[in-house]
Amino acid sequence: MLIERSAKMKQTPEFVSSGTAVERSATPAPLKADGSVPVPAAANSLVPVNKRAPATARSRWPRVALVLAVIAGGSFAGYHWWQQTHPQLPPSIVWGNGRLEADEIDIDTKFAARIAEILADEGDMVKGGQAVARMDTRDLQASLKQSQAQANQAQKAIEEADNNVAQQTAQALLARQEFDRAKVLLEKGAGTKEVLDQRQQQLDGANAALAAAKNRVTEAQHALEAARHLVEFYTVNIADDTLVAPRDGRIQYRIANVGEVLPAGGKVFAMLDINYVYMDIYLPTEQAGRVKFGAEARIVVDAYPAVAIPAKVTFIATQAQFTPKTVETRDERDKLMFRIRVRIDPERLKAWGDEVRSGLPGVTYIRTDPVVPWPAALRGSAAQ
């Protein structure tokens, strides 16, 4: 009995007045003389186990207040930025985000050839007609000299044929005169029919020779024309092997280098046409339907927020760019977005050509009602 009681007391925690459990020592305590188990002195004391004071609501309020203050400050800053970048606009002015773009023009080779000289580099401003690269044209130069020699030879052939025509003309004239004298003598009885026939044959031969000489002149003239066309052909090809900028613009990329052999149509440069600068934006159906061709617009890029660049609408998409499979409700119709392009006046770009950058983000404002004036933020800086 005493052994069983001792085992139970080792396995079961003893509860004190505070309700906190205190485990006994794992080592069996010695029995007293009367057979009872002694109780340790520590059992009468209160020993808390894993007790932690919970965080109070008062300690969490400073953190919550700090988070709310940060959110409020961010919201105010965002609203202030929105007011600065998107001023209050009348309903007749619609806007959309986009990027400033310029037409990209590839400067390619016309014939397969080796690059002999590079005359421009990335970032250079070039004028229309300015040479930017030259190809190796030694083979074309040799063919040009050959065609020029053929043209000179044809010219000599023409001169020789002309002299031959003059000679045959004299022979034909003499034959005609002899034939006429033989005919007169025959009529007077002083000549014979045989002599007249001989003079007739001589006259026919002289006329045939004269016609042949004239034909040789025509052939020589045609040969000269062909040689001259060949000279012109090689001259044009040599000129085309000097690559020039087709428009005023900026060299954006240089793809090839000196010594590289390119096929026909091989790209050497990619340039931006600074005379065609535009921005594409997307507007929903309700706004796009009120935009007209030629409508005035203002472009404000993020890099120059104080400058409103005048532009005009030059393109309105006839089909929606974002179209759901079925259009049944008004919410779905609002998802229809139409692409609209506004282009900057080329005359204005001539003065700001050095400032043109492709890919600059910004906002385009379009006025759907020409009677409504532009806001001050878009009107005052428009003339810059």
What's the pLDDT tens digit per position in 211-268? 888 888 888 889 899 999 999 999 999 999 999 999 888 999 999 999 999 999 999 9
C-alpha 331/C-alpha 285 separation (Å) is 11
Residue 70's contacts (CB-CB under 8 Å, 6 or more residues apart) are none
Helices (H) and strands (E) in the chain, counts: 8, 14
Task: Taking residues 100-120, report their average pLDDT.
Answer: 93
Of residues 226 and 181, the one with the higher pLDDT is: 226
Of residues 216 and 350, the one with the higher pLDDT is: 216
Q: How many residues does the chain have?
A: 384
Task: Please name the amino acid found at residue 295.
Answer: A
Q: Residue 373 in 3-state DSSP?
A: coil
Least confident of 75-89, 92-106, 202-216, 292-306: 75-89
- In CATH terms, is domain 85-103+274-379 a member of 3.30.365.10? no
344: closest CA among 360, 333, 329?
A: 360
Q: Looking up tokens 């808390």, which residue turns up?
A: 48
Predicted TM-score of the model (pTM): 0.59
Of residues 173 and 322, the one with the higher pLDDT is: 173
Is residue 383's pLDDT more than 50? no
134: closest CA among 109, 165, 157?
A: 109
Least confident of 3-7, 64-68, 267-271, 332-336: 3-7
Q: What is the pLDDT, as a whole number, of residue 72?
A: 62
Least confident of 6-20, 204-218, 293-307, 322-336: 6-20
User: What tens digit of pLDDT does each residue of 4-56 get?
Assistant: 444 444 444 443 333 333 344 444 444 444 444 454 444 444 444 444 445 55
C-alpha 85/C-alpha 97 separation (Å) is 12
373 contacts 299 by C-beta, under 8 angstroms: no
Q: What is the pLDDT, as a whole number, of residue 85?
A: 53
Is residue 120's pLDDT more than 90? yes
Whole-angstrom distance between the N-terminal and C-terminal Cα of the chain? 108
Average pLDDT, the chain: 77
Tell me the CATH class for 105-135+242-262: mainly beta
Q: Delimit the domains of the chain by residue range.
A: 2-44, 85-103+274-379, 105-135+242-262, 138-240
